């Protein structure tokens, strides 16, 4: 089992914006650019990209989840410069799905769910023009910090979560692996930008599913996969859910998710 087996919560995906949740990409976009957004989900960030490149540009949101794309099409529609496409980044015929190369291919919070991130980067490189850019934002799940320390039941759940991911061959420190993977893929001029996501008590969205509540959502949505696979029993999963909800309500002050944006250039011909 090496593909994502749960669907990301649309409530979380829809709360994301280009300006807040893919900050480095904002600085790279220009009017008229052709952009591929891999793992676009419900298209919230993709729509921001389309606005940034303007009517002279063109954006394709790619995802393998038909459900997420249905939400994207329903809420955003298909405009002159924005379209959504079902597709698998690792498919053999991936590059033939597009008529012309892109100026930029990006993926945000996607490669951490792919068991072959090296191949994923090679595929993204294939669909950008010579001199085009590949831009990837992702986490290191091994380096999430909670202040103060979360309850023991949640810590046990989180360790099981990481073990389950390892069994699926997903890199729990993909953010730290990306620079080397970019180099192996032959991408040049590689740059790394820290893009940590910090949630602080007192912030307007502190309690919602997007912010401190994201791990409660993981317990609820991914937890059943952990119990079905034998990484955790239901009693402990339930205890983790209860204790973490109370911890967020009464104790959590600050949560920091380690993240980087890595970019590189496709210098060679397709």
pLDDT of residue 76: 78
Contact assessment for residue 229 and residue 167, using Cβ atoms and an 8 Å cutoff: yes
Q: Residues 206-246: pLDDT tens digits?
A: 988 778 889 999 999 999 999 999 999 999 999 999 999 99
- CB neighbours of residue 96 within 10 Å: 10
Tell whether the model's pLDDT for residue 13 goes beyond 70.
no
Mean pLDDT of 79-97: 88
Please give the Cα distance from 123 to 221 (Å, whole number): 30
Tell whether the model's pLDDT for residue 176 goes beyond 50.
yes
> Which ranges of 78-233 does DSSP label H, i.e. alpha helix?
117-126, 152-167, 174-184, 214-221, 223-228
Mean pLDDT of 88-102: 89
Q: Which of 76-85, 200-209, 229-238 has the highest mean pLDDT?
A: 229-238
Tell whether the model's pLDDT for residue 6 goes beyond 60.
no
pLDDT of residue 192: 98
Nearest to 16 by CA among 205, 239, 225, 221: 205
Tokens matching residue 65: 């989840």
Peptide bond into 141 cis (omega under 30): no
Between 23 and 73, the more confident residue is: 23
Taken in order 117, 90, 123, 85, the sign of the CA dihedral is: negative
Mean pLDDT of 93-107: 92
pLDDT of residue 1: 40
pTM exceeding the 0.85 threshold for the entire prediction: yes
Residue 205 confidence class, pLDDT cut points 50, 70, 90: confident
Please give the Cα distance from 179 to 263 (Å, whole number): 9
Q: What percent of the chain has pLDDT over 70?
A: 92
Q: Residues 105-135: pLDDT tens digits?
A: 999 999 999 999 999 999 999 999 999 999 9
Contact assessment for residue 81 and residue 57, using Cβ atoms and an 8 Å cutoff: yes
The topology (CATH level 3) of 10-266 is Rossmann fold (3.40.50)
Please give the Cα distance from 261 to 186 (Å, whole number): 17
b/e string for 103-139 if b means 16 or more Cβ within 10 A?
bbbbbbbbbbbbbebeebbbbbbbbbeeebbbbbbbb
Tell whether the model's pLDDT for residue 270 goes beyond 50.
no
Mean pLDDT of 2-30: 75
Helix, strand, coil shares of the chain as percentages rounded to 5? 45, 25, 35
């Amino acid at each position: 089992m090496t593909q994502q087996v749960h669907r990301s919560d649309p409530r979380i995906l829809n709360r994301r914006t280009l300006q807040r949740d893919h900050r480095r990409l904002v600085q790279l976009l220009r009017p008229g650019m052709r952009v591929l957004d891999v793992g676009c989900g419900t298209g919230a960030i993709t729509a921001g990209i389309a606005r940034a490149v303007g009517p002279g540009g063109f954006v394709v949101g790619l995802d393998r989840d038909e459900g997420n794309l249905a939400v994207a099409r329903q809420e955003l529609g298909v405009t002159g410069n924005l379209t959504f496409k079902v597709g698998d980044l690792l498919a053999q015929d991936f590059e033939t799905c597009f008529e012309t190369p892109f100026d930029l291919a990006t993926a945000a919070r996607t490669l951490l769910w792919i068991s072959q991130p090296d191949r994923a980067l090679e595929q993204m490189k294939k669909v950008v023009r010579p001199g085009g850019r590949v831009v990837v934002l992702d986490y290191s799940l091994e380096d999430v910090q909670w202040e103060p320390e979360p309850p023991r039941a949640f810590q046990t759940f989180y360790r099981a979560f990481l073990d389950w991911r390892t069994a699926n061959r997903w890199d729990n420190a993909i953010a730290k692996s990306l620079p080397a993977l970019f180099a192996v893929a032959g991408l040049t001029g590689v740059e790394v930008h820290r893009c940590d996501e910090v949630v602080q008590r007192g912030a307007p969205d502190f309690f919602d599913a997007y912010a401190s509540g994201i791990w409660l959502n993981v317990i609820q949505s991914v937890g059943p996969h952990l119990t079905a696979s034998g990484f955790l029993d239901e009693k402990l999963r339930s205890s983790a859910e209860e204790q973490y909800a109370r911890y967020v309500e009464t104790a959590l002050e600050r949560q920091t998710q380690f993240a980087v944006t890595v970019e590189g250039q496709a210098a060679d011909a397709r």
